[in-house]
């Protein structure tokens, strides 16, 4: 029995390797976000972060992290920023509507306020799947946003797992805030990417089963 926990096959070695990768990726995300002056850099940097982590999770060999990050950043720069702009407009509209109806006193305004809160929750959940879908499918932007919304309903178990994981990670950073500059983005993205891969496989399996039943 091999008891060498520091071997390249050992759990401790793999954990250290992943931590090193995530720290490096987090620093790349910060760097490339600044490269796009923040506003234009955040979306492509996040897509690139998801893309590199996906390849690492798939255990693809010879992943050159910096080169792959830069390649994805350039490839999705315009597309991801268009998605970001659309999502920003939607978010502003939801905020304005919420602020307006909260200032009114009628009972039906209260109902609309609760409805808007629900919409805002699903709007935020949309971000769990937008980036994985951008990388996975070459489809029009409106379908990316629509499908991300659909994934929330089609894979409720995985969505709940993402929420719980993000909650645990938030507690982790609450007690260790000094780690935020090193893992504050890459760690939650790692968790979302890991679970969203399962979500995509689940949905694709459902679609295939549905198509097979139609053909029978």
Which mean pLDDT values do the consecutive 10-residue runs of the chain (216 residues) have?
53 89 97 91 97 90 90 96 96 95 86 94 94 94 92 93 97 96 97 94 82 70
Residues in the chain: 216
Task: Please state, in angstroms and rounded to a whole number, the distance separating the CA atoms of residues 194 and 213.
Answer: 30
Task: Please state, in angstroms and rounded to a whole number, the distance separating the CA atoms of residues 191 and 195.
Answer: 6
- What's the whole-model pTM score? 0.89
pLDDT on residue 92: 97
Residues contacting 155, CB < 8 A, separation 6+: 198, 199, 202, 203
pLDDT on residue 63: 86
The position carrying tokens 């808007």 is 116
Task: Please state, in angstroms and rounded to a whole number, the distance separating the CA atoms of residues 104 and 110.
Answer: 8
The position carrying tokens 């995985």 is 158
The position carrying tokens 């950073």 is 173
Between helix 156-175 and helix 141-154 the angle, nearest 10°, is: 90
Task: Please state, in angstroms and rounded to a whole number, the distance separating the CA atoms of residues 41 and 26.
Answer: 14
Question: Do residues 186 and 48 make contact, with C-beta atoms less than 8 angstroms apart?
Answer: no
Question: Do residues 128 and 162 make contact, with C-beta atoms less than 8 angstroms apart?
Answer: yes
Question: Do residues 159 and 128 make contact, with C-beta atoms less than 8 angstroms apart?
Answer: yes
| Domain ranges (residues) in the chain | 11-215
Phi, psi of 96 (to 5 degrees): -65, -45
């Amino acid at each position: 029995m091999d008891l060498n926990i520091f071997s390249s096959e050992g759990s401790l070695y793999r954990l250290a390797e992943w931590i090193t990768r995530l720290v490096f990726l987090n620093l790349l995300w910060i760097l490339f976000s600044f490269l796009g002056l923040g506003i234009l850099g955040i979306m492509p940097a996040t897509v690139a972060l998801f893309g590199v982590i996906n390849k690492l999770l798939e255990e693809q060999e010879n992943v050159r992290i910096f080169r792959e990050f830069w390649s994805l950043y350039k490839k999705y720069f315009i597309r991801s920023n268009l998605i970001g702009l659309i999502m920003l407009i939607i978010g502003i509209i939801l905020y304005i509507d919420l602020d307006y109806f909260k200032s009114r006193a009628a009972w039906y305004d209260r109902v609309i306020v609760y409805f808007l809160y629900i919409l805002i929750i699903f709007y935020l959940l949309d971000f769990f799947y937008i980036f994985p879908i951008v990388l996975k499918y070459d489809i029009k932007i409106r379908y990316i946003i629509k499908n991300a919304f659909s994934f929330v309903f089609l894979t409720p178990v995985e969505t709940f797992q993402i929420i719980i994981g993000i909650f645990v990670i938030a507690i982790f950073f609450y007690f260790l805030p000094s780690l935020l500059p090193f893992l504050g983005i890459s760690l939650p993205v790692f968790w979302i990417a890991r679970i969203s891969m399962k979500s995509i496989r689940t949905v694709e399996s459902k679609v295939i089963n549905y198509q097979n039943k139609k053909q029978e």
